[in-house]
């Protein structure tokens, strides 16, 4: 009351108002707690809401279960590449529900994230069979979907974290497998070698450039790229040549090909804004399309749910294939 009275005394107009309306100050003091409460709720409404969890949105797609037996339309199965029969290495293939022997189809080649348990109960096994991007992007039609493995340093087993092992993060066995698998799969199932799209989540997103553009031979395989969550060169990682200078050298091999780069909504320093800033050093910025997923999760399962970003990605992919 004293502080408010002083305020009125220092302002003649307010003082005159008080004299004419003697009960105003009393009323003001009485409703002050209500005004504070009202301001609190208004502030809540004006604050930017947290991005939704993927579990709040019902999936409209379910990845088909793994099956055995002969390949056919709509079937997803594990497969061993010739020459790897004595190893524990395999990849996973899905033939679209409109697949027919003798016809030609574009291919989505996907790399998984690292094995991890993260925030919001997000998990990844790091294995090819648990990847989801390709199915979410294609909705199971029009594209052959292949999930490739990362190989350990000896090339006889699958690496669930990065590539190689802790003592030797070599990517050579992984790249060699890819170079053998893509032509073989194209020939066997009618994949169009001129329409091979490389995509990946987290570790796989980094792999789009780190593996996919590592040398001229493997770089020639790809028509376009979809990188979801993280990006080659944005931060140092525990493997050789993860520095920005080396990443920029790899990026030179991209040429004029397009990339769709997306990321979950996050306050992390390794977010979409950081990737945009990093790519200002790229030769041609206009070949990059950026988008946030609209979800808070670090999980490729967001693509199994309807969203504006998934719609935008599909439109972008159609353009990349048709150009």
Contact yes or no for 174/165 (Cβ under 8 A): no
Tell me, yes or no, whether 143 and 6 share the same domain: no
Position 54 in a domain = no
Position 79 in a domain = yes
Position 235 in a domain = yes
Token duo for residue 308: 């504006």
Q: Tokens 């969203």 identify what position?
A: 307
Identify the pLDDT of residue 147: 98
Position 59 in a domain = no
Position 52 in a domain = no
Contact yes or no for 178/148 (Cβ under 8 A): yes
Tell me, yes or no, whether 198 and 301 share the same domain: yes
Position 55 in a domain = no
Q: How far is CA 301 from CA 50, 58, 85, 135, 180, in A?
A: 18, 11, 31, 10, 29
Q: How far is CA 114 from CA 64, 165, 230, 236, 291, in A?
A: 22, 13, 12, 16, 22
Identify the pLDDT of residue 79: 97
189: domain CATH number is: 3.40.50.1820
> By residue range, what is the domain housing residue 20?
2-46
Position 58 in a domain = no
Identify the pLDDT of residue 23: 58
Tell me, yes or no, whether 8 and 41 share the same domain: yes
Identify the pLDDT of residue 18: 56
Rg (CA), the chain: 27
Tell me, yes or no, whether 10 and 100 share the same domain: no
Tell me, yes or no, whether 269 and 138 share the same domain: yes
Tell me, yes or no, whether 75 and 39 share the same domain: no
DSSP labels for 228-265?
ES--TTSS--SSTT-SHHHHHHHHGGGTT--EEEEE--
- Per-10-residue mean pLDDT, the chain, length 323: 45 55 56 44 45 97 95 97 98 98 97 95 97 98 98 98 97 98 98 98 98 98 98 95 95 96 95 93 82 98 98 98 90
Tell me, yes or no, whether 292 and 225 share the same domain: yes
Tell me, yes or no, whether 38 and 115 share the same domain: no
Tell me, yes or no, whether 26 and 108 share the same domain: no
Tell me, yes or no, whether 183 and 230 share the same domain: yes
Identify the pLDDT of residue 220: 98
Tell me, yes or no, whether 9 and 131 share the same domain: no
Position 219 in a domain = yes
Identify the pLDDT of residue 49: 64
Identify the pLDDT of residue 36: 42
Split into its structural domains, the chain has a count of 2
Q: Tokens 């749910």 identify what position?
A: 305
Contact yes or no for 105/197 (Cβ under 8 A): no
Tell me how far apart the alpha carbons of residues 216 and 32 are, in angstroms, rounded to a whole number. Answer: 70
pTM as predicted: 0.85
Tell me, yes or no, whether 180 and 141 share the same domain: yes
In the chain, where do the E strands start and end? 66-67, 76-79, 91-94, 105-111, 116-117, 123-124, 144-148, 191-201, 224-228, 259-263, 288-292
């Amino acid at each position: 009351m004293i502080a408010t009275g002083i305020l009125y005394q220092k302002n003649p107009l307010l003082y005159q108002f008080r004299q004419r309306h003697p009960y105003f100050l009393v009323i003001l003091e009485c409703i002050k707690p209500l005004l504070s409460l009202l301001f609190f709720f208004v502030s809540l409404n004006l604050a930017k809401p947290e991005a939704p969890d993927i579990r709040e949105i019902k999936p409209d797609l379910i990845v088909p279960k793994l099956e055995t037996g002969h390949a056919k339309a709509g079937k997803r199965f594990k497969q061993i590449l010739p020459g790897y029969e004595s190893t524990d290495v395999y990849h996973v293939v899905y033939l679209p529900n409109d697949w027919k022997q003798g016809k030609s189809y574009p291919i989505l080649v996907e790399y998984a994230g690292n094995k991890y348990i993260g925030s919001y109960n997000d998990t990844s096994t790091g294995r090819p069979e648990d990847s989801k991007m390709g199915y979410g992007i294609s909705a199971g039609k029009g594209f052959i979907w292949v999930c490739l493995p990362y190989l350990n340093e000896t090339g006889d087993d699958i690496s669930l974290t990065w590539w190689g092992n802790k003592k030797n993060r070599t990517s050579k066995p992984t790249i060699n497998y890819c170079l053998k698998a893509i032509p073989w799969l194209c020939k066997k199932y009618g994949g169009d070698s001129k329409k091979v799209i490389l995509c990946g989540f987290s570790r796989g997103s980094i792999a789009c450039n780190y593996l996919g553009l590592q040398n001229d031979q493997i770089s020639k395989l790809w028509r376009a790229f979809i990188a979801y969550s993280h990006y080659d060169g944005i931060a140092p990682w525990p493997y050789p040549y993860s520095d920005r200078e080396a990443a920029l050298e790899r990026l030179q091999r991209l040429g004029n090909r397009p990339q769709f780069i997306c990321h979950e909504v996050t306050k992390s320093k390794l977010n979409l804004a950081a990737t945009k800033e990093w790519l200002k050093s790229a030769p041609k910025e206009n070949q990059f399309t950026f988008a946030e997923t609209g979800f808070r999760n670090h999980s490729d399962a967001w693509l199994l749910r309807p969203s504006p970003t998934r719609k935008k990605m599909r439109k972008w992919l159609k353009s990349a294939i048709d150009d």
